[in-house]
Structure 1
Amino acid sequence: MLRFSTSVLHSRFLLLLALLVLGVTAQAQKQPTLGAGPRTVLTSDSVKLFVQVAGKGTPCLFVHGGPGAGSYSFEKLGGNRLEDQLQMVYLDQRGSGRSGSSRSKNYSMARMVQDLEEVRQQLGVQKWVVLAHSFGGTIATAYARQYPQRVQALVLTNAVLNPVAGLDSMVAYGSSLLPAAARPAPGLPSMQRFGMVMGALQQQKLAGQLQFSHDSLAARAMRASRAVSGNPEFAQQVFSGRLADYGQDYAPATAQLTMPALVILGTDDRTTGATAASYRFPRKQVVTLPGKHNSFLEQPAQFRKAVVSFVQQLPR
């Protein structure tokens, strides 16, 4: 009789312990409900970062491109279509958009990655989907490599992984849009040629054709970008050539990133220097949409469908 009672008590103890463990695990994995609206996140080196939270569902950090473009344009022209399924976290990177500048001029890749992680910590998010556009692909990839346990999945749309290749591709394509007499000499340094090509495209009123299929789309994007104030410091630091880690090729790192990854490409996007093969994620899905460098604006319905379908397939 005593043996039977001890066995029963032991079984009940194990059951109770299991329930407690499961309860703690579920509580730890439960994502907080973030309040909607703007807020300021103060980094460990005292830079004020602008963050806008909107929507409901799986937390999703948006990593903007540019460099230095800010998140507002994507929020109003693409991200807002995702907010019924995703809780979007729109971050303006340091020295960009509505965020402050670094007093120490620290805009290294390591510092940018640390900023993303500090935002996550201060918001109390356990894991999130990281969605990046254009130049933001380099920062998102570096973050996923540093903190893979915090990235539920990656979504890279028209993303750059190799900034040098992207710059060369943009210069070559931009030059092809110009009359022969307006094209810069091929032997000039890449950054100098880039400046000359962009200036000539503006002068010839062809700048919109570089990244948009229609001038009307370029005009919409321009209006959105001008709707809020911008901080040019990060862009100036990158284009100065003083930040060596932005000249690295981050494509090889994708081969070691095992989280699910959605890659969205534009059929006529010739400004990233990347193809489907550049993204080596073991668990990748590739969606190619008609258009150039801003798939979320050029094909909004298909862009939304691709992202929402991908997120709905993720393990809960």
Structure 2
Amino acid sequence: MLRFSTSAFRAHLLALLLLLLAGTARAQQQPMLAAGSRTILTSDSVKLFVQVAGQGTPCLFVHGGPGAGSYSFEKLGGSRLEDKLQMVYLDQRGSGRSGSSRTNNYSMARMVQDMEELRQQLGLQKWVVMAHSFGGTIATAYAQKYPQRVQALVLTNAVLNPVASLDSMLTYGTSLLPATARPTPSLPQMQRFGMVMGALQQQKLAGQLQFSHDSLAVRAMRASRAVPGNPEFAQQVFSGRLVDYGQDYAPATAKLTMPTLVIVGQDDRTTGATAATYRFPRKQVVTLPGKHNSFLEQPAQFRQAVVSFVQQLPR
């Protein structure tokens, strides 16, 4: 009969526990992604452009626009975060450097599926999801569908209610125009919006809608024009045929329990929201001077807010 002393049994048990813990840690460890650009193919054969840069906690950037692409944020804001975050810049289907859908499938469900397929192809267990402007709707929808894959949310100048955003932009944009250039209030909303945007361009006032200084608007425009763009997604959204982009996603935030950082521009007239609009149970709100592009208008404070938030996340 084999006999073990109590001390020997404890030693064997401790060794076994250590092996199990080590195996669990290896299983949960996130892979280090190779830096650089790549193209992924979705399950419905759309080619998506992805750029990976930096080191640290994986972070998916969800751009706005709709259809703006990720390049402008990468160069003007994201690059400041890459010493602490491994940034994954995705150009959504029909946007930026990505391809278009042959079946014109630009639904919210399909956008969410694209993000999840990207996560799977990259081999990540979970990631921080960061969104700007209109990207806030897509990021929130993704967090609803896959909460277990979202380590945290970072919403900067985010739109959660596109209708309220449109109303706010229309009201503010109209106020910037001289009385003689303002459209008749009785016209349909989308017609007035188009007329106001055109008049702001003609009056050289368009930059004031989203930027505190014209020089910042020029920098953003220069960056956005540095790479080819794809207008397909934007055209689909503004056509009015994609009804799920007209929904108010703010009420859904009350049930999203992941840590959430909300960065708000003090004079942002684009989002159509206040800090109280975002009802995440575990939210932190940081209000920065400026309008709709806090990462460009207050780069040091923006970086500090994001890095401090991410460093507090549970490991």
Aligned match of 1:255 = 254
- Between the aligned partners of 2:32 and 2:162, the Cα distance in structure 1 is 36
Find the counterpart in structure 2 of residue 55 from structure 1. 54
SS at match of 1:5: coil
State the partner residue of 2:117.
118
Helix, strand or coil: the match of 2:69?
coil
SS at match of 1:23: helix
Look up the match of 1:186: 185
Give the structure 2 partner of residue 148 of structure 1: 147
Q: Does 1:173 align with 2:167?
A: no
Aligned counterparts of 1:100 and 1:190: Cα–Cα separation in 2 = 31
- Whole-Å separation in 2 of the counterparts to 1:251 and 1:24: 40
2:202 alignment counterpart = 203
Q: For residue 125 of structure 1, give the secondary structure of its aligned residue in structure 2.
A: coil
Shift of 1:292: 0.3
What TM-score do you get using the length of structure 1 for normalisation? 0.96
Supply the AA of the counterpart residue of 2:165: G
1:227-277 Cα offsets, whole Å, 9 max, x none, are 000000000000000001001000011110111000000010011111000
The residue number in structure 2 matching 1:242 is: 241
Q: Distance in 2 between matches of 1:80 and 1:98?
A: 19
Whole-angstrom CA distance in 2 between matches of 1:191 and 1:29: 48
Q: Matches of 1:240 and 1:9 in 2, distance apart? A: 74
What is the 5 A alignment of 1:27-66? Answer: 27-66=26-65
Q: Secondary structure at the match of 2:218?
A: helix
Deviations 1:123-159 (A, max 9, x none): 1111111110000000000001111111110000000
**Amino acid across the alignment from 2:32:** T
Matches within 5 A, 1:94-105: 94-105=93-104
Distance 2:189 2:13 in 1: 67
What residue number does 2:279 align with? 280
Secondary structure of 2:264's partner? strand
Taking the aligned partners of 2:191 and 2:60, their CA distance within structure 1 comes to 34
Q: How far 1:193 moved relative to its partner?
A: 1.5
Distance 1:187 1:8 in 2: 87
Q: CA RMSD in A?
A: 1.5
CA-CA distance at 1:12 after TM superposition = 5.6
Distance 2:110 2:23 in 1: 33
d(CA) in 2 for partners of 1:239, 1:99 = 19
Q: Counterpart of 1:309?
A: 308
Q: Which residue of 2 aligns with 1:162?
A: 161
- SS for the counterpart of 1:297 is helix
Between the aligned partners of 1:24 and 1:270, the Cα distance in structure 2 is 50
* SS of the residue 1:288 aligns to: strand
Q: Alpha-carbon deviation of 1:188?
A: 2.2
Q: Which amino acid aligns with 1:149?
A: Q
For these two proteins, the number of residue pairs brought into alignment is 315
CA distance in 2, matches of 1:84, 1:49: 25
- Does residue 226 of structure 2 align to residue 227 of structure 1? yes
What letter matches 2:29 in structure 1? K
1:7, distance to aligned residue in structure 2 (A): 6.4
| Structure 1: segments with no counterpart, 5+ residues | none
SS of the residue 2:121 aligns to: helix
Identity %: 84
Spell out, residue by residue over 1:2-55, the C-alpha distance to the aligned partner (whole angstroms, 9 max, x if none).
6x6386776566545533432232112101011100000110000000000000
Corresponding residue of 2:105: 106
Q: Could you tell me how far apart the structure 1 residues matched to 2:73 and 2:202 are?
A: 26
Alignment partner, residue 24 of structure 1: 23
Provide, for residues 152-209 of structure 1, a one-character-per-residue CA deviation record: whole Å limited to 9, x for no partner. 1000000000001101111111000001121112222222111111011001110000
SS at the partner of 1:238? Answer: helix
- The verdict on how the C-alpha distance between 1:9 and 1:106 changes in structure 2, with shifts beyond 3 A counting, is farther
